[in-house]
């Protein structure tokens, strides 16, 4: 069946080629039977092994699809990791800035305000705790708390703290409340 279809296709191609060569009555462009035979032989003739079967094409497409899906999942995982790293870097910057501001206030003899900021992106919180139980030693702790509703085990709380010796001493409770 396949060979018969190929023979019909070649015969149709020969007829089309002869019709194209006969256009405008140009004798110099006529194709002879020998020319058509040379074309057939140059392309490898008609063998039943030429080309791919439908099963081979489908298997190749399935293999390609599986490979592309694997590549896509790697890209998605990389995008998630980059987003997480960006979020954690933002937390570290905010916490560090808040800690430095509180330490600057302590050096200036001012008691820093404790706070709980809930307006961070993704519903995260920033908390600052000022401990002046020892009047000569001020301790500041800043925590970046991920939104508990995120349910992402990779998100962890970030906590940084620092102590500062206060030679003149500070007394009194800090204003505000941490988270």
pLDDT at 2: 60
Exposure string over 31-65, b if 16+ CB within 10 A, otherwise e: eeeeebeeeeeeeeeeeeeeeeeeeeeeeeeeeee
Helix (H, G, I), strand (E, B) or coil at 103: helix
pLDDT at 90: 93
Among residues 12, 42, 17, the alpha carbon closest in space to that of 30 is found at: 17
Task: Find tokens 């500070």 and name the residue.
Answer: 170
Alpha-carbon separation of residue 70 from 36, 60, 84, 119 (angstroms): 48, 16, 21, 38
pLDDT at 3: 67
pLDDT at 88: 92
Max avg pLDDT among 44-53, 79-88, 144-153: 79-88
> Is the pLDDT score of 39 beyond 80?
no
> Is the pLDDT score of 98 beyond 80?
yes
- Dump pLDDT digits (tens) for 64-82: 999 999 999 999 999 999 9
> Is the pLDDT score of 14 beyond 80?
no
pLDDT at 168: 87
> Is the pLDDT score of 23 beyond 80?
no
- Dump pLDDT digits (tens) for 119-153: 988 899 999 999 999 989 999 999 999 998 888 88
pLDDT at 132: 93
Secondary-structure breakdown of the chain: helix, strand, coil percentages, each rounded to the nearest 5? 55, 15, 30
pTM for this predicted structure: 0.61
């Amino acid at each position: 069946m396949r060979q018969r279809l190929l023979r019909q296709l070649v015969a149709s191609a020969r007829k089309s080629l002869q019709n194209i060569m006969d256009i405008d009555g140009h004798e110099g462009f006529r194709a002879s039977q020998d020319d058509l035979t040379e074309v057939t032989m140059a392309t490898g003739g008609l063998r039943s092994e030429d080309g791919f079967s439908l099963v081979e094409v489908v298997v190749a497409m399935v293999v390609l699809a599986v490979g592309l899906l694997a590549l896509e999942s790697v890209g998605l995982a990389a995008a998630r990791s980059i987003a997480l790293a960006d979020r954690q870097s933002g937390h570290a910057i905010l916490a560090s800035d808040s800690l430095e501001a509180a330490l600057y206030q302590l050096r200036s003899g001012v008691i820093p305000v404790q706070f709980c900021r809930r307006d961070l992106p993704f519903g995260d919180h920033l908390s600052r705790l000022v401990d002046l139980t020892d009047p000569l030693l001020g301790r500041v702790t800043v925590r970046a708390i991920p939104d508990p509703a995120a349910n992402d085990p990779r998100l962890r709380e970030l906590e940084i703290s620092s102590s500062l010796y206060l030679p003149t001493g500070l007394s009194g409770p800090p204003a505000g409340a941490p988270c």
